[in-house]
Amino acid sequence: MRRRTSILREYDTGGKKILKRRTQILDDLRERRKFWEQKEEAFATVFKARDSLNDTIVAVKKIKLGSRAEAKDGINRTALREIKLLQELKHPNIINLMDVFGHKSNVSLVFDFMDTDLEVIIKDTSIVLTPANVKAYMLMTLQGLDSNGVLKLGDFGLAKFFGSPNRIYTHQVVTRWYRCPELLFGARMYGTGVDMWALGCILAELLLRVPFLSGESDLDQLTRIFQVLGTPTEESWTVRYSLYSLTPHALGATSPPFLKDSIGVTSLPDFIQFKQFPGTPLRHIFTAASDDLLELLGSLLAIVPLHRCSCQQALKMPYFRWGPSYPLHSSPSYRN
């Protein structure tokens, strides 16, 4: 494997020639400045740039310094977490961290450049999303889309390593529309079921071409969820299990000891009582969906966390048994 000359060395060595290259890159970014201002994130600004070493287009994520302590330490904790995770996560459908470089008090991350993201694809009604497109995107899973139709996971700034026995997480994760009931009820200990729920919301959005559950507040979000999927009861939510009888995806193979006892929805920190909604059959909402697709969607959007499927279980479901070929070799087509 040929070793690529690092951009980090370019910036660290300094000199007029290097500074000129940097100016050229920044000038190139200004061509799309209006577009990228709309893509500014809470902790960083993302630019389109040209790698002068191999003449390829890349995405440069310039991290904003947070607190004074972070500025003193020389790096934002969010950036450090993202760098650490992406150095370990290598997969065709995970965004590739190509390089990291510092300049003065800033740190920048260099990624594969993705032409668009899934939200843009979904909202553009001139784009035709076929059942094959939907299935392929579910296979590749989430976040960024390149011109060859390859989907990649990205933005790991708020991600954390999973599986510590007594770790308490924050419930303020995931954009509200994709947040599962246990998070909305303030759960501090949870598993990958929160991600499976979010994936279910995205699958629903791919089918409807609009957000599936778009609450205006956490209370409204829960109301919308229960109106569609039914209100859970203490009996339906409560489960009893030993520490190692859990399916690993739901709460992790090393779940905290207190989870040996029964857990009810009313025990969640921010629980409030809701009207009992019977729910609406998914078939009445997704009228064109096949039985196999509805089975997958129902498994992803199970109200009770332990009832949600894992990634491995989802990929073995009948929906993925037949086609399409993966990956798709072109982007979705446009309407005439």
| pLDDT, one tens digit for every residue, the chain (336 residues) | 333 333 332 322 223 232 324 434 443 433 333 333 334 455 677 888 888 777 888 888 887 665 555 555 556 666 777 788 788 777 777 788 888 877 666 778 888 888 877 788 888 888 888 888 888 888 776 333 344 555 555 665 555 555 554 555 554 555 789 999 989 988 877 777 888 898 899 999 999 999 999 999 999 999 999 999 999 988 888 753 333 334 444 443 333 433 434 467 888 888 889 999 999 999 999 999 999 999 999 999 999 888 898 888 888 889 988 765 554 444 555 555
**For the residues of 98-122, what is the DSSP string, one character each?**
EEEEEETTEEEEEEE--SEEHHHHH
Q: What is the pTM of this model?
A: 0.66
- Evaluate the omega torsion of the peptide bond into residue 327 and state whether it is cis, within 30 degrees of 0: yes
Burial class (CB in 10 A: 0-12, 13-18, 19+), 329: exposed
Distance, CA of 113 to CA of 96 (rounded, Å): 9
- 117-334 CATH fold: Transferase(Phosphotransferase); domain 1 (1.10.510)
Cα end-to-end distance, the chain, whole Å: 44
Superfamily of domain 7-113 in CATH is Phosphorylase Kinase; domain 1 (3.30.200.20)
User: How many CB atoms are closer than 10 A to CB 231?
Assistant: 20
SS3 263: strand
Instruction: List all residues 6 or more positions away from 123 whose beta carbon is below 8 Å from its beta carbon.
Output: 209
Domain range list for the chain: 7-113, 117-334
174, 198 contact by CB (below 8 A): yes
Query: CA quadruple 263, 265, 267, 270: dihedral positive or negative?
Result: positive
Is 61 annotated in a binding site? The answer is yes
- Evaluate the omega torsion of the peptide bond into residue 131 and state whether it is cis, within 30 degrees of 0: no
Domain 7-113 and domain 117-334 have a common topology: no
Give per-residue pLDDT as tens, 174-230: 578 999 998 998 887 777 788 889 889 999 999 999 999 999 999 999 999 999 999
Give per-residue pLDDT as tens, 264-305: 788 888 888 999 999 999 999 999 999 999 999 999 999 988
Distance, CA of 281 to CA of 237 (rounded, Å): 19
